[in-house]
Structure 1
Amino acid sequence: MDVLITGANRGIGAALKTGFAARGDKVFGTARGHEGFLELDVANPQAHRDLAAQLEGQALDVVVCNAGVYLDKGQSLADGYAPEMWAQSFAVNVTGVFLTIQALLPNLQMAASPRIAIISSQMASDTRAPGGSYIYRASKAAALNLGRNLAVDLKGQGIAVGIYHPGWVRTDMGGSTADISEQEAAEGLIARIDALSLETTGCFETWDGRAHPF
Structure 2
Amino acid sequence: MTILITGASRGIGKALFDGYADAGATVIGTHRQPDAGAMRELDVADPASHARLAASLGDTAIDLLICNAGIYPDKGQSLDRGYPADMWAQGFATNVTGVFMSIQHLLPHLRRAGSAKIAIISSQMASDTHAPGGSYIYRASKAAALNLGRNLATDLAPEGISVGVYHPGWVRTDMGGASAAISTEQSARGLMDRFAALGPETTGCFETWDGQAHPY
TM-score of the two chains, using structure 2 as the length reference: 0.98
CA distance in 1, matches of 2:56, 2:159: 23
Please tell me the residue identity of whatever aligns with 2:113.
A
Question: 1:11-49 CA distances to partner (integer Å, 9 max, x unpaired)?
Answer: 000000000111100000000115331010000000000
User: What residue ranges of structure 2 are gaps of 5+ in the alignment?
Assistant: none
Give the corresponding residue for 1:25: 25
**Deviation of residue 112 (structure 1)?**
3.0
RMSD: 0.6
For the residue of structure 2 that corresponds to 1:64, the secondary structure is strand
CA distance in 1, matches of 2:18, 2:87: 31
Given that residues 150 and 204 in structure 2 are in contact (C-alpha distance below 8 angstroms), is that contact kept between their aligned partners in structure 1? Answer: yes
Residue in structure 2 matching 1:146, options 148, 153, 160: 148
Q: How does 1:94-173 map to 2 (within 5 A)?
A: 94-173=96-175
Q: Is 1:193 paired with 2:195?
A: yes
Question: 1:80-112 CA distances to partner (integer Å, 9 max, x unpaired)?
Answer: 000000000000000000000000000000113
**Deviation of residue 148 (structure 1)?**
0.3
Q: How does 1:51-90 map to 2 (within 5 A)?
A: 51-90=53-92
Residue in structure 2 matching 1:46, options 45, 48, 51: 48
Given that residues 114 and 161 in structure 2 are in contact (C-alpha distance below 8 angstroms), is that contact kept between their aligned partners in structure 1? Answer: no
Please tell me the residue identity of whatever aligns with 2:168.
P
Count residues with an aligned counterpart.
Answer: 214
Q: Is 1:4 paired with 2:4?
A: yes
Please tell me the residue identity of whatever aligns with 2:157.
K
Identity of matched residues, %: 66
Given that residues 191 and 209 in structure 2 are in contact (C-alpha distance below 8 angstroms), is that contact kept between their aligned partners in structure 1? Answer: yes
